[in-house]
Amino acid sequence: MKRGFIPPIDSLIAFESAARHGSFTRAAEELFLTQGAVSKQVRLLEGRLGVELFKRVRQRIVLTDAGRLYLHDIRGTLEKMTTATRQVMSFGGSEDVLNLAVLPTFGTRWLAGRLPRFHERYPEASFNLSVRLRPFDFDAEPFDGAIHYGEPVWARAICEPLFPEDVVPVCSRSFRDRYGIRKPEDLCTVMRLHQSTRPDAWQRWFMEAGVETDLAFQGPRFDQFTMISQAAAAGLGVALVPKFFITEELKSGALVTLFDTTLKLSSAYHFVYPENRTLRPVVKTFKAWLQEEAKDQKDREELLPG
């Protein structure tokens, strides 16, 4: 990489801010500079590039075609630089920072509430949690590990099983009473809520319960278990949800389990970490703790009300 092709960072920041606000004055307020200083930085950048980035129209500035293209290309780079800088600062001189990629519902409904217990065991550790919905390249992203749902397959990484996803039919108590739900066949005639990444879950649950129906795929779909469980608690319909995601709702009575028939899905939750992170103490400790929590999961589920 030739340094001569990289403009000064101050000029890039001034350009991005002015383009975002459509104003040198507002960019100056954001950057705690004078309007003249921002204008000068942009002129220097235009001189460096040999192109005009803005058209000056009376009191307004408007991006040129070259300016729009350049803004699109550099904005992502500046955002990555900001994120990288904040991430490095979070270390605070410590090597015990754990960068985790988590699934959104798993992170909010299961993992986050248990992290204080890990912190008690490893008080020096701190966390950076980010959402990732699909497998990624650990060499390209700065993560020490990830929570993965699916088959135990991840390129150049080790998959440690945590627990399977056993789902049960749940709804609000008022919905159950309003529709007189007493047997599995009754679920054929009420609103069924679907999780979009488990499209055949209801069909498989009906088969498990010994119910024949052509209506298994009917009903609204939701991207996340958080949305589907809240919709069920609000009385929209019946949902198939893992018990460990709705612990509080079952305890409070916001949701009730309808039948004992549990659908055991073939996929499972795993803790995945790259092979080159296996020797980091914080990763080893977190893995062991996570496996202990997962081992106790089944016992906690059995204590939940039906």
Separation of first and last alpha carbons in the chain? 63
Q: Are residues 256 and 294 in the same domain?
A: no
Q: Are residues 75 and 108 in the same domain?
A: no
Neighbouring C-beta atoms of residue 118, cutoff 10 Å:
20
Q: Are residues 142 and 287 in the same domain?
A: yes
Count how many residues are written for the chain.
306
CA distance 61 to 87: 34
Rounded to the nearest 10°, the torsion over CA 72, 74, 76, 78 is: -150
Domain coverage including residue 31: 3-90
Chosen domain end from 33, 59, 90: 90
CATH of the domain at 232: 3.40.190.10
Neighbouring C-beta atoms of residue 248, cutoff 10 Å:
11
- Where helices occur in 60-114 by DSSP H, the ranges are 65-90, 104-106
For 181-212, write each residue's pLDDT tens digit: 999 999 999 999 999 989 999 999 999 999 99
Q: Above pLDDT 70, what percent of the chain? A: 92
- Written as six digits, the tokens of 55 are 């058209």
For 102-123, write each residue's pLDDT tens digit: 999 899 889 998 999 998 888 8
Q: Are residues 151 and 294 in the same domain?
A: yes
Q: List all residues 6 or more positions away from 267 whose beta carbon is below 8 Å from its beta carbon.
A: 149, 150, 151, 164, 165
Q: Are residues 59 and 107 in the same domain?
A: no
Least trusted range by pLDDT, from 70-79, 172-181, 221-230: 70-79
For 54-68, write each residue's pLDDT tens digit: 998 777 899 999 999
DSSP for 130-177, written as a single string = EE-SS---TTTS--SEEEEEESS--TTEEEEEEEEEEEEEEE-HHHHH
| Total domains present in the chain | 3
Chosen domain end from 64, 90, 116: 90
